Amino acid sequence: MSRHSVGVHSRARTSSRRWWVPTTVVHASGTATLERPETVAVVPTEPLKTPSHRRAEPTRAKARRAPRDDGAVWIISAALMIFAALLLGFVADVVFVSQVHEVRTQQVLLSDYRSDLANAVAPVGQTDSNGSLLAPGTPVAILAIPTLGVSQVVVEGTASGQTMDGPGHRRDTPLPGQPGISLVFGRQAAFGGPFGDLRSLRPGDPITVTTGQGEQKYAVMDVRREGDPMPQALAEGESRLTLVTADGTPYVPDGVLRVDAKLTSPVQPMPPRVLSAAALAPAEQAMAGDPGVWIGVVLWGQALLLAALALTWCRTRWGVWQAWVIGVPVLGFLGLAVANQLVQLLPNLM
């Protein structure tokens, strides 16, 4: 056995990075002495991960999104949908739906008026058989202009609501064929634009009007605009027909155009008149709108607003496509309904 024997007792602490190594020296005499302990640096090959170590690891800061203002989104979405529905509804109503409306209404009016003529109950004055004023929209004549290919049922009244259905007879004037000047208003472009080509008429062109008193024949005298000289005053018992429409660019009129025609067939008797020009509403004058439709605008507008809000809510709950499948037909219908009311605020000759 060598002079010195060294026994090494090693103990490692799992939580330390250094080992403590005590050293014992044994002599030949059998005595043992403990010398100064030595420490040996130990570099761990792998860092020890403890729960506290995990919590100490740095974490990447998560970007926080700004909170969404759902109230503002609802308001903006509803406003955009209302604006789109009104704009599309207005354009569609004036340009397309109005034409279909006029054709369909004229077919119904023609059928009704032919029945009245066949039964000899067609009106021949301002009142009906019961002595009451004719209701606005009642058919009173059939106007034919062969040169233009026009054949239209004339209704009583000249407000926007009546000229949407066809040419309107101004209620304070006699019916065609009777003594005096009979005024008939018609639209230039919208709702079929039955009077859109009046400017192309020439003196002598024939016009025929069928009433409850028979067929009344006229010949065109002249076409005049604002500022042109008035035609010669009528003599006692004479009859004249004046067709009135808008002048200028279609849908953007800048004046009134009139066509005067003199009666060439016998003058018909005129029943007593009970309605004068002073009794007419302003909405029945040339180039006037009808302010009475504002009630309808407000009511239909409220329905459109509620539908837009409901669609916005459905979109956030159901999804975009599901909401639009249901909402588009509803918004389209309500947009057309509001637009139909707004059109009546426009000039009755447009």
Q: Which has more pLDDT, 323 or 104?
A: 104
Whether 241 and 231 have beta carbons less than 8 Å apart is answered as no
Residues 39-81 have pLDDT tens digits of 555 555 555 555 554 554 454 444 444 444 455 666 676 677 6
Same domain, residue pair 118 and 259: yes
Q: Report yes or no on 47 lying in a domain.
A: no
Residues 20, 118, single domain; the answer is: no
241 with 124, same domain: the answer is yes
Q: Cα–Cα–Cα angle for 206, 172, 133, nearest 5°?
A: 115
Q: Is residue 98 part of a domain?
A: no
More confident residue, 346 or 268: 268
Q: Is residue 272 over pLDDT 50?
A: yes
Q: Of residues 122 and 91, which shows the higher confidence score? A: 122
State pLDDT tens for residues 15-25: 444 544 455 55
Q: Is residue 65 part of a domain?
A: no
Q: How many domains does the chain have?
A: 2
Q: Are residues 111 and 199 in the same domain?
A: yes
Give the CB-side neighbour count of residue 47, counting CA atoms within 13 A: 7
Residue at 93 is within a domain: no
Q: What is the pTM of this model?
A: 0.73
For residues 129 and 264, membership in a common domain is answered with: yes
- For position 203, which CATH number holds? 2.40.260.10
Domain enclosing residue 3, as ranges: 1-37
Establish if 10 belongs to a structural domain: yes
Same domain, residue pair 135 and 250? yes
Say if residue 129 is in the same domain as residue 240: yes
Task: Give mean pLDDT, residues 90-118.
Answer: 89
Residue 33 and residue 118 share a domain: no
Q: What is the mean pLDDT of the chain?
A: 82
Residue 76 lies in a domain: no
Q: What integer pLDDT is reported at residue 56 of this predicted model?
A: 47
- CA dist list (Å): 28 to 2, 32, 73, 173, 271: 9, 9, 96, 152, 160
CB count within 10 Å of CB 305 equals 15
Torsion of CA 72, 78, 83, 89, to 10 degrees: 170
The answer to the question of residue 167 being in a domain is yes
| Candidate from 46-60, 66-80, 186-200, 293-307 with smallest mean pLDDT | 46-60
Residues of the chain above pLDDT 90, percent: 48
pLDDT at 290 over 50: yes
CA dist., res. 83 & res. 112, Å (int): 39
Q: Tell whether 117 and 226 lie within a shared domain.
A: yes
**Residues 145 and 33 grouped into a single domain:** no
Written as one string, the DSSP assignment of 10-58 is: -B--TT-SEEEE-EEEE-TTS-EEE---EEEE---SSPPP-HHHHHHS-
pLDDT of residue 85: 67
Give the residue from 289, 317, 333 where a domain finishes: 289
Q: Which pairs count as long-range contacts for 121-126, CB under 8 Å and 24+ apart, including other chains?
A: 121/212, 122/211, 122/212, 123/156, 123/175, 123/212, 124/175, 124/211, 124/212, 124/213, 124/268, 124/271, 125/175, 125/270, 125/271, 125/272, 125/273, 126/171, 126/271, 126/273, 126/274, 126/275
The answer on pLDDT for 90 being more than 80 is no
- pLDDT average, residue stretch 285-297: 91
Tell whether 6 and 135 lie within a shared domain: no
Question: Token pair 């004229």 is at which residue?
Answer: 106
Domain boundary among 289, 319, 339: 289
> Are 21 and 142 in the same domain?
no
For residue 334, what pLDDT band results from cuts at 50, 70 and 90?
A: confident
Instruction: Answer yes or no: is 198 within a domain.
Output: yes
